[in-house]
Amino acid sequence: MMSCSFGYLVFKIDGAEVVLDYGEDKTMPYADFAAEVAAKHPDDPRYLVIDYEYKTSDGRDADKIIFITWQPEYCSPRKKMPYSSTKLSLTSALVGIAKNLNATEISELDEAILLAECNKI
């Protein structure tokens, strides 16, 4: 089995292609990653893929792959449209996506939201 040190991947649309923008190591705390995304991309959409490790509500260790479409609230519709239209194609191509979320502001990237979504049956 192949292992990967990335815990976070950030994709962008470049022309007509979805490309990897950058990745962050699993050792980076999620809160730092969320703050980085909001700071680096205050007006630009991105796709975020997160290998999220957490404790279940009954205390077990678990992990899920979470896909988040980051479309800041004040981002222009012209920038948002390609992300909305290619999202289904990308999520279909990525194997193992357990949760598919949307975020328009930093508060929607809060770890409590991820944890609550992961603990839903």
Q: pLDDT tens across 39-89, in order?
A: 999 999 999 999 999 999 899 999 999 999 999 998 999 999 999 999 999
Report the topology of domain 6-118: Severin (3.40.20)
The domain limits of the chain are 6-118
Specify the pLDDT at position 1. Answer: 36
H-run or E-run covering 51: strand 46-55
On whether the CB atoms of residues 49 and 69 are closer than 8 A, the answer is no
Cβ-based burial of 29 (10 A; exposed 0-12, middle 13-18, buried ≥19)? exposed
Specify the pLDDT at position 3. Answer: 53
Specify the pLDDT at position 4. Answer: 63
Q: Which of 54, 73, 67 is nearest to 101 (CA)?
A: 67
Query: pTM for the full model?
Result: 0.92
Specify the pLDDT at position 44. Answer: 96
Its sign, for the CA torsion 43, 94, 92, 106, is negative
Encode pLDDT of 9-19 as tens digits.
Answer: 999 999 999 99
pLDDT above 80 for 2: no
